[in-house]
Structure 1
Amino acid sequence: MDPDREQACAAISVPASLSPAVLGYEWARDSVGESGGAVYRLHGRSGVPDLFLKHGRGSVASDITDEMVRLRWLAKHVPAPAVEGFVATQDEAWLLMKALPGQTAYQLLEAHPDARVGIVDALAAFLRGLHAIPLSACPFTSDHAYRLAQARERIDAGLIDEHDFDDEREGWTAEQVWDAMQRLLPMQFDPVVTHGDFSLDNILLLGGDVIGCIDAGRVGVADRYQDLAILWRDLGQFDQALQDRLLVQYGIAGADAGKLQFHLLLDELF
Structure 2
Amino acid sequence: MRTSPHREEPCAAVAIPASLAADVEGYDWARDGVGESGGAVYRLHGKPGHPDLFLKQGEGTCATDVTDEMVRLMWLAAFLPVPAVRGFVRTPDAAWLLMTAIPGLTAWQALEAFPAERPAIVDALADFLRRFHAIPVSDCPFTSNHACRLAQARRRLDAGLVDVEDFDEERQGWNAEQVWDAMTALLPLAPDSVVTHGDFSLDNLLWHNGTITGCIDVGRAGVADRYQDLAILWNCLCDFEAALQKRLFHRYATAAPDWRKLNFHLMLDEFF
TM class by shorter chain equals over 0.9
Equivalent position of 2:112 in the other structure: 110
1:242 match: 244
Say which of 134, 137, 140 aligns to 1:135.
Answer: 137
Match of 1:197 among 199, 207, 216: 199
> What is the distance in 2 between the residues matched to 1:30 and 1:169?
28
2:93 equivalent among 81, 91, 94? 91
Identical residues among aligned pairs (%)? 67
CA distance in 2, matches of 1:247, 1:48: 40
How far the C-alpha of 1:34 sits from its partner, in A, is 4.1
Question: Structure 2 counterpart of 1:217, which letter?
Answer: G
Corresponding letter in the other structure for 2:234: W
Alignment of 1:61 with 2:63, yes or no, is yes
Note if contact 2:153-2:268 (Cα within 8 Å) is conserved in structure 1: yes
Q: Tell me the residue number matched to 2:6.
A: 4
Match of 1:153 in 2: 155
> How far 1:77 moved relative to its partner?
0.6
8 Å CA contact 2:128, 2:212 repeated in 1:
yes
Compute the TM-score of the two structures, normalised by the length of structure 1.
0.97
What whole-Å deviation, never above 9, does each CA across 1:164-196 have from its counterpart, x for those lacking one? 111211121111111111111111120000000
Deviation at 1:4, TM superposition (A): 3.3
- Residue of structure 1 aligned with 2:255, choices 229, 253, 261: 253
What amino acid is the match of 2:193?
Answer: P
Aligned residue for 2:64, secondary structure, equals helix
User: What does residue 169 of structure 1 align with?
Assistant: 171
- Cα deviation, 1:107-131, whole Å, max 9, x if unaligned, reads 1000000000000011111111110
- 1:124 maps to a residue whose letter is A
Q: Distance in 2 between matches of 1:8 and 1:92?
A: 23
Cα distance in 2 between the residues matched to 1:94 and 1:9: 17
SS at match of 2:185: helix
Which consecutive residues of structure 2, in runs of 5 or more, have no partner in the other structure?
Answer: none
CA distance in 1, matches of 2:19, 2:100: 16
Alignment RMSD: 1.0
Superposed structure 1 runs of 4+ greater than 4 Å apart: none
Alpha-carbon displacement from aligned partner over 1:43-93 (angstroms, at most 9, x marks no partner): 111111111111110000011101100111011111100000000000100
1:15 is matched by which residue type in structure 2? P
Matched length: 269
| One-letter identity of the residue aligned with 1:108 | A
Query: Per-residue deviation at 1:3?
Result: 7.0
1:32-43 equivalent positions in 2, closer than 5 A: 32-43=34-45
Look up the match of 2:212: 210
Amino acid of the structure 1 residue aligned with 2:240: F
Equivalent residue number for residue 77 of structure 1: 79
C-alpha displacement of 1:253: 3.0
Distance 1:240 1:247 in 2: 12
Cα distance in 1 for residues equivalent to 2:183 and 2:15 = 41
Letter in 2 for 1:212: G
Give the aligned partner of residue 267 of structure 1. 269
Q: Give the alignment's TM-score, normalised by structure 2.
A: 0.97
Residue type at the aligned position of 1:192: V
Tell me the alpha carbon deviations over residues 13-49 of structure 1, each in whole angstroms, 9 at most, x when there is no partner. Answer: 0000011111111111111114211111111111111
SS in 2 for 1:184: coil
